[in-house]
Structure 1
């Protein structure tokens, strides 16, 4: 059975999506994540970025809520995030 990408797409765009990136809790990590996401979505709304340190404080999770316009846009964001040396994981 072949899936039709347009009709069987799980996400319906445009939609709001939370992008999460995790890396070492070091100065500037939040800014790296925000800069990468902003390159693909433009200016971010106030309050759309949140950070949460790991239990031991060694890692930081940065969540950015954005209005995603397409799967291709999201793919580009995740590719750039995961390619960055400071990003350990992107969800």
Structure 2
């Protein structure tokens, strides 16, 4: 019976859906636990709007953003430069 439902052609779909669910779960957990604008407990919600710029800056400027800030927005800059740089011709 399981042979009829789980075929080898479906494994990439399972992987893609699993990866998407994992990314969504990571994002949700990050926002729930670290985001300074999200308050889950009653005391935090009672505080209202806080002018907490340093905590917001720390949340926004995470390691991936710092790493990619001064890099070109290309996936493979070496290959792109090889095929598009006119001085190489």
Q: Fold conserved (TM > 0.5)?
A: no
Which one has the bigger strand percentage?
A: 1
With a CA cutoff of 8 Å and minimum separation of 6, indicate the structure with the bigger relative contact order: 1
Of structures 1 and 2, the larger Rg is shown by 2
TM-score by length of 1: 0.21
TM-score by length of 2: 0.22
